[in-house]
Amino acid sequence: MTLQLDDFWSYYQWLMRPEAFLESAFLQGVVLFVLAILLGLIVGYVVSAARYGPVEGFYAVARSVRELVRFDLPRTSLRRIFALARLAFKEAIRRRVLFAVGLFLVVLLLAGWYLNPESDDPARLYISFVLTATNYLILALALFISAFSLPADIKSKTIYTIVTKPVRATEIVLGRMLGFVAVGTLMLVPMGLASYLFVTRGLRHSHLEVTDVRELSDGTLEGETDYVRYHKHTFSITPDSGGLGLTDIVRGHRHVVTQKGDGSFEIGPPTGALRARVPVYGDVQFYDRSGEAKDAGVDIGAERFETGGYRSSGFSRVIGLARGSRKVVHGYVEGGTLGAAEFTFANITPDRYAGGIPIDLSLRAYRSFKGDIESGIRGSITMKHPGSEIESNPIVFVVDEYDVDEKILPLDIEGTDNNETRMLNVFDDLVDENGRMQIVIQCLDRSQYLGVTRSSVYLRPEENPFGWNLTKAYISIWLQMTMVIAFGVMFSTFLSGPVAMVATFVCVLLGFSAEQVYDTRHYIDAGIERGGGPIESMVRLLKQDAMTTQLDVDTIAARVIKTVDAGIVYSLDAIATALPNLPKMLGTAEYAASGFDIFGALLLRHATATLGYCILAFTISYFFLKSREIAA
């Protein structure tokens, strides 16, 4: 999993952005909310003016705003909201929505037939499956119950029994939203428990026999386990280990091997498959082949651009702020030279790293020539003091391109102190008075390259329980469900059930495609030939032209096509990026599947964004519901 720059922000940085307040989520959210309210007032006035005339239409809109601020909001009753929420809850239960839980359990029972039993990382496969299945099922159900409820009540006239009572429009909207959220929560709890059991039991297995045991000259025992579930392990037990040994990591897990007194071996259960790593990232500084400091590593032609501001919400693009592009701090380190990536880590203390410095590497390899692929590309790790000429000897490793390479750096290691060779202690010699230490990554093979980002190298002082991490992933799904319910209720206040469901689905779909829309607009801004907009792409399809060539039409026609395309793409960009991009804004499945802890600041950011969209949907729902003549 590769993190973006904004993934490293704390909640305060994301919300306020002290260094660039115009790009802060708070300001952009306020601007988006104000723009939505102004647009709603304009639309409301146009509709009222067409119905009652220009002057009376203005007074009708003003009365609605006055009633919301002076009467409905201050006099909203929690008791009435709870009563309406209970009615919505019972209504959804009567529609037998809980059958979705049974359907999910059936899907889990049949999943073993379709999941690849020979997967190199079965834990990732199982976690991704349960989270994806839960996500799609619960969002589809939330879309259905929220979009059809209010239109069905209006059509059957059962809404009259509510609006003729002393209830307010705010209470009706909030009651519907909270009732449907309660139904979704009731379904998510058993689905989450079933998912946990499915993942843990699905990965559970036992190796019963040990084969090919041999004793080396130094007394070390080496052997292999039996072949179970398409894999086996090798292990070694040293004479000073007390009869304990570890197998190698295969398919994301390993086992503890114990030699008993009678010489037999006992193989423990799998460990390390279900994890929640708590990574500690450092600041990275790149150096070129001559040792000069650079802002990024070597560009091998696979340049990536990210938008300014907070990518997940799209707020900055809809209000026109931070429209420029910037390069992510990443690049390649050239091998056999002075090129390096230097990471500075803070808070290196004996309390956190008592047994060594656990470091994880997720590097990429780029070969400028084929060479010996089987042997892999070699790299080195060097620990350095930030302010002195003290560094450890390089620790050589072979790059594992397709997995997280976990290592533990020793606390005592031979190194150099101002060109004097001696034994170094990490805390006494390599960590400064502020608790900082530097780790340098280099590529040892000439004309080969190591791909590095800030998230490629991190320390791992602790891990959290997998069960709690899976729970946080389900909290993210709950937030997505809440947002879909809010939009479904909003559209149901002025559209029929099927149309409201389609409108909500389109909003979610446009949010899904926000990144693709923005990429197209970026290419148009930069003048890069990538097939153009919708009209130009259609012309190229009809003429069978390549997407990288110049458009083969008349100059004036080409200018008209590009101008119209730019208008379409900019309009779609404004709409799509203003809508919630659920996978980017609230999705945490990749964290759980990759074995990373879903940190609290990320969940808090997701909850804040969800609350903002729900408040906006509630406000729009109120005005539309007030404008409907549903009671005589």
- For residue range 396-447, what is the model confidence (pLDDT) as tens digits? 999 987 778 889 999 999 999 988 999 999 999 999 999 999 999 999 999 8
- Tell me whether residue 508 is in a domain: yes
Q: How far apart are CA 539 and CA 250, in angstroms?
A: 51
Partners of 379 in beta bridges: 397, 443
Between the alpha carbon of residue 269 and those of residues 214, 255, 403, 501, the distances in Å are 23, 6, 22, 48
The answer to whether residues 630 and 624 touch, using CB atoms and an 8 Å cutoff, is no
Dihedral angle over CA of 206, 209, 215, 220, nearest 10: 20
Claim to verify: residue 177 and residue 297 sit in the same structural domain: no
Q: What is the pLDDT of residues 350-363, one digit of tens each?
A: 999 998 999 999 89
- Tell me whether residue 5 is in a domain: yes
Claim to verify: residue 501 and residue 599 sit in the same structural domain: yes
Claim to verify: residue 351 and residue 404 sit in the same structural domain: yes
The answer to whether residues 366 and 449 touch, using CB atoms and an 8 Å cutoff, is yes
Question: Of 51, 75, 99, which residue sits at a domain end?
Answer: 75
Q: What is the pLDDT of residues 226-267, one digit of tens each?
A: 999 889 999 999 988 888 999 998 998 999 999 988 888 999
Claim to verify: residue 287 and residue 432 sit in the same structural domain: yes
610-613 long-range CB contacts below 8 Å, 24 or more apart? 610/479, 610/482, 610/483, 610/586, 612/29, 612/33, 613/483, 613/486, 613/487, 613/580
Claim to verify: residue 526 and residue 575 sit in the same structural domain: yes
Question: Of 75, 105, 140, which residue sits at a domain end?
Answer: 75
- Range of the structural domain that residue 413 is part of: 279-459
Tell me what percent of the residues of the chain surpass a pLDDT of 90. 44
pLDDT at site 441: 96
Claim to verify: residue 477 and residue 361 sit in the same structural domain: no
Claim to verify: residue 316 and residue 373 sit in the same structural domain: yes
- Tell me whether residue 273 is in a domain: no
Q: How far apart are CA 265 and CA 212, in angstroms?
A: 12
Claim to verify: residue 142 and residue 231 sit in the same structural domain: no
How many domains, the chain? 4
Give the residues of the chain that fall short of pLDDT 70: 1-8, 164, 301-329, 371-373, 513-515, 517-530, 548, 576-577, 583-586, 628-632
pLDDT at site 1: 64
Question: Of 428, 459, 490, which residue sits at a domain end?
Answer: 459
Between the alpha carbon of residue 394 and those of residues 80, 385, 516, the distances in Å are 69, 14, 43
DSSP letter (8 states) at residue 72: I
Q: How far apart are CA 549 and CA 59, in angstroms?
A: 57
